[in-house]
Structure 1
């Protein structure tokens, strides 16, 4: 079997000489790299880490630049100001809300039968509204989710207690907490890490993260026949399709069991029975399976990357942990569990979450957009059908946008009084981890709520230490594992439990107490 790189070289070089330009661009186009520097990306190891190359090009070409690959135009948006002009200001926000043709959407998600990779049309709008209803991110629905998350946190606390202060890889604890929540959302109940469903979901998420990497998507989008070759990435794509079907079949089996608990899968099965005004089925089996892929991947990969990164960061910053613990002690104390109503009273905790999301920029290039007609962005003419790359990794790590961007500084999101900056503050407006405009992340509220409850519970009850006998490195953004969602490298830590040791002086404020480690608190 020919090596993947050699095949790519032969194919791309052939196309390079036979593709003809269809005409000159009208108006003034953005600057950008041309020719060989662009093709080099698709010939070597830079393909999985496209965001790093775009970051380097930003230093040379600025807030917006353009490049071509096999006759297709791409523009990279590299500042929050340009991003908002493109995605939030009409008529640009409508023009740029479309998705480009992608290999992921066409071949892996059954001809754009999902929500994330499909372009707007009446059926897409109905699916997106359904997705909002399913995750129940507001009002009474958020209270239901909070109850589910807090129940899953009980299992997490038992897992931490069982570590006995030993060196542990926290990924199994974090993954079970996240997947427990996903299971409850999808099927109404959780089966734990030893259950078959979590094994399937974990495998599916791992495959999604690899095969939807933007660099690979571009390459396979131009050369879709690669999927028929016995290449490593092609084999993973075939495995993804099989695993997706295994997930749906297993959920169908679980849905037939007699139980009071119901989940999203039950709802989607009912929606499949609905008919439009013409008597046609508007929500199909393909919609069901691919909407579940959207939900499972979004509900797992992003939260895993954030929480795992947060634990590593805090293990290296004991003073920040102490400050978070003081906030927990003063606001929540020890007699009750954290709840979502505590969020507005815990500005440091909220700032740590925001700074973690900025610092890792875990969805580095978001999902690509496309222009449905010619438009103007930042004074440049952008042609119809141009692919738009929301370069979030660069936006969050440019010195032009942030002071000391590669330094973890939660205080950048706090005012002089230690309060969280409002959403309309210029600093907050540069924060784009969940995108912006008509295609912003549907699950933002759900994700932030889950991360807050995890972090507040963790800091209320434990202290994170580096492992015995060795040190863990600082989390370095360029070294994170690539994928559509970046993940930190594996590491170990120790979780040491906290308990209040009452001061002998009466009426002492909680923040004045001292603490020692014990198993009794959990």
Structure 2
């Protein structure tokens, strides 16, 4: 019997050794780990962006870590990231199974693996941003009206310091509520307050870097809810609030729906559903759970990213008064003080281009852009220069510097594939290290400082889109799973920044808090600190 046991143990060891030798993950460089635990004990969760940054400098374009026994591949270089996101078809377009997020909303297209259903929902999501009412103009009008309301609120404070956290959250909540539900809202409305609360609870309950992440790694623990009362309370509270807010608003919108006068993105979803459109298998194109997931995606993605961007903008302008004055001088040189800056003011529209655009553009599109120029194959001399190049350069530098989603949304390989010469098995979690790409010292001089001039050419104009400095960061992702709300996010930031700088000097109330991105705590996103600001009227 002892000989049989010894032989069996020997065969098992040989099998494990052969399996280990054939494992392609073994060839990917990375820090050594412990048996069973992997690299878990050495990970600094709140500082993971800096830890992976240093590892990228050591291990190169592709590296790996192990979370217990599960390998996670991290792509660091621009070339490796673009290869995975844009050049390998759908190989990297899966999503890892995240039970906590699925408990809150199972039909959020951002968290779904690429499949026919996900493609369908993403297409509907994109159409909803431009297909209702008079089209994209309606969304722009909503943003512009909300900024005017915000300016009135600031003026009522008469120079008293305002906490930027409340200002940023309030401003973005109003815009998102209006975009989704159609009615105009103020931050004191119950809807905006519920949106803010819902988002806070959802992030707390699904934070991948909190102790609750153990349930994503070991889903079977969810069967023993009584052992984890605090965690289960957070998830249940987030789930209840999503149902309470979104389901109630969906029902209210259905009861008052008018196909001749669509109010917001939700009305577009209702129209699709009421037309009883079906997919090729005869299933409804959009059910209530899918509608709930898309409304949640509109709210969560838009609120969290925009509020952090605005918080960082305040820190940048307060830290660097010279930058603030330079941007104000550029705005003053282009616009009268009584002029409210809109999205159309971003470009100098040349007469020839304007005439051609008016003949060709659909009536629902009011903002000519470079992509449309390329579609028409117009001569390059007709491409519109940015009217505020310094401000646009600052926005690019802002997105590069903050890189608030340092690893984007986790990807997963849906089949065996390879990147940068390394084979990666199917069902492997893959992280895009956009934080390293955006702060790569081999590409950017002094990458942890805010220097908008790096994006200006010798003539003071914005460098071309194909310039390496603009190609090396992925704040909104790339390829088929790039953020569909990028245009609206950039529009929000532009309107806010241009109009605030035109009308106010920003002065610090107390000491400037830590504004080094390397010191920001990491949860789902990097979180800049809030600050109290005095808004002094310029005009």
TM-score by length of 2: 0.82
Q: Deviation at 1:106?
A: 3.7
- Is 1:303 the counterpart of 2:306 in the alignment? yes
CA contact (8 A) 1:137 1:445 kept: no
Q: Deviation at 1:253?
A: 5.5
Residue of structure 2 equivalent to 1:15: none
Aligned to 2:500, what secondary structure does the other structure show? helix
Alignment of 1:250-329 (within 5 A): 250-252=248-250, 254-255=252-253, 256=255, 262-273=263-274, 274=276, 275-329=278-332
Q: Aligned partners of 2:112, 2:123: CA distance in 1, in Å?
A: 14
Alignment of 1:415-454 (within 5 A): 415-454=457-496
Match of 2:58 among 54, 60, 74: 60
Q: Deviation at 1:384?
A: 1.6
Residue of structure 2 equivalent to 1:248: 246
Residue of structure 1 equivalent to 2:4: none
Q: Aligned partners of 2:146, 2:527: CA distance in 1, in Å?
A: 22
Residue of structure 2 equivalent to 1:206: 200
CA contact (8 A) 1:316 1:474 kept: no
Q: Aligned partners of 2:102, 2:221: CA distance in 1, in Å?
A: 14
Residue of structure 2 equivalent to 1:511: none
Superimposed CA distance per residue, residues 422-464 of structure 1 (whole angstroms, 9 cap, x where no aligned partner): 1111111112111111111111111001110110001110111
Q: Aligned partners of 2:151, 2:234: CA distance in 1, in Å?
A: 35
- Is 1:383 the counterpart of 2:383 in the alignment? no
CA contact (8 A) 2:318 2:508 kept: yes
Q: Aligned partners of 2:138, 2:250: CA distance in 1, in Å?
A: 24
CA contact (8 A) 1:465 1:496 kept: yes
Aligned to 1:215, what secondary structure does the other structure show? coil
| Structure 1: tracts of 5 or more residues without a match | 1-19, 500-522
Residue of structure 2 equivalent to 1:100: 96
Kindly tell me: are residues 174 and 130 of structure 1, through their superposed partners in 2, closer, same or farther at Cα, counting changes over 3 Å?
same
Aligned length: 474
CA contact (8 A) 1:48 1:213 kept: no
Kindly tell me: are residues 366 and 137 of structure 1, through their superposed partners in 2, closer, same or farther at Cα, counting changes over 3 Å?
farther
Residue of structure 1 equivalent to 2:356: none
Kindly tell me: are residues 276 and 62 of structure 1, through their superposed partners in 2, closer, same or farther at Cα, counting changes over 3 Å?
closer
Kindly tell me: are residues 31 and 495 of structure 1, through their superposed partners in 2, closer, same or farther at Cα, counting changes over 3 Å?
same
Q: Deviation at 1:83?
A: 0.5
Superimposed CA distance per residue, residues 456-481 of structure 1 (whole angstroms, 9 cap, x where no aligned partner): 001110111111xx321351213324
Q: Aligned partners of 1:38, 1:57: CA distance in 2, in Å?
A: 21
Residue of structure 1 equivalent to 2:111: 117
Superimposed CA distance per residue, residues 109-135 of structure 1 (whole angstroms, 9 cap, x where no aligned partner): 32xx22101112222211111000112
Residue of structure 2 equivalent to 1:489: 529
CA contact (8 A) 1:187 1:261 kept: no
Q: Aligned partners of 1:139, 1:189: CA distance in 2, in Å?
A: 13
Residue of structure 1 equivalent to 2:146: 152
Residue of structure 2 equivalent to 1:336: 339
Q: Deviation at 1:282?
A: 3.2
CA contact (8 A) 1:465 1:495 kept: yes
Kindly tell me: are residues 218 and 258 of structure 1, through their superposed partners in 2, closer, same or farther at Cα, counting changes over 3 Å?
closer
Aligned to 2:423, what secondary structure does the other structure show? strand
Q: Aligned partners of 2:109, 2:312: CA distance in 1, in Å?
A: 28
Residue of structure 2 equivalent to 1:517: none
CA contact (8 A) 1:176 1:193 kept: yes
Aligned to 2:307, what secondary structure does the other structure show? helix
Match of 2:70 among 69, 72, 85: 72
Residue of structure 2 equivalent to 1:166: 160
Kindly tell me: are residues 483 and 167 of structure 1, through their superposed partners in 2, closer, same or farther at Cα, counting changes over 3 Å?
same
TM-score by length of 1: 0.85
| Structure 2: tracts of 5 or more residues without a match | 1-15, 347-385
Q: Aligned partners of 2:202, 2:483: CA distance in 1, in Å?
A: 17
Residue of structure 2 equivalent to 1:220: 215
Q: Deviation at 1:298?
A: 1.1
Kindly tell me: are residues 38 and 497 of structure 1, through their superposed partners in 2, closer, same or farther at Cα, counting changes over 3 Å?
farther
Superimposed CA distance per residue, residues 205-236 of structure 1 (whole angstroms, 9 cap, x where no aligned partner): 11233333333475322222444243544432
- Is 1:188 the counterpart of 2:230 in the alignment? no
Residue of structure 2 equivalent to 1:460: 502
Q: Aligned partners of 1:137, 1:171: CA distance in 2, in Å?
A: 32
CA contact (8 A) 2:247 2:292 kept: no
